[in-house]
Amino acid sequence: INVYGLSKLMGEEICQFYMREHGLPIIISRGFNHTGPGQKKSFVFPYVASSLAKVEKGDAEPVLKMGNLSVRRDVLDARDVVRAYMMAADKAKPGSTYNVTSGRCISIEEGVRMLVEIS
């Protein structure tokens, strides 16, 4: 486990502590990678979409500067993630934990190809 994973684990442990000690109705939702309207261009898919739009308008050369394209991620639409969080808040039993995921990983390269195809 790395420091990031440890911080996530500790956050969940703190939630469990407050549920036990103070009776708070805690529900843990683990959101995986998500993207959607309004996301900053510092994230890979908004960066690619913005770059493709500039190329289409003639404002940029058709070259994308990218990192490791083989990295695989489970990516959801941010609006679906919000719906899952709302459903958990409305219907989940306190103390439960939910992974909010599509269950399908794609490489960054696959995601970029999808964006190129629809642009």
User: In CATH, what number is assigned to the domain containing residue 111?
Assistant: 3.40.50.720
Q: How many domains does the chain have?
A: 1
Instruction: Kindly report, residue by residue over 45-70, the tens digit of the pLDDT.
Output: 999 999 999 999 999 888 888 899 99
pTM: predicted TM-score of the whole model, two decimal places: 0.81
Contact (CB, 8 A) for 93 and 25: no
Q: Which residues span the domain enclosing 109?
A: 3-118
Interstrand relation of 28-31 and 97-100 (parallel, antiparallel or unpaired): parallel
Output 14-22 pairs: Cβ under 8 A, ≥24 positions apart. 16/95, 19/94, 19/95
The pLDDT of residue 11 is above 90: yes
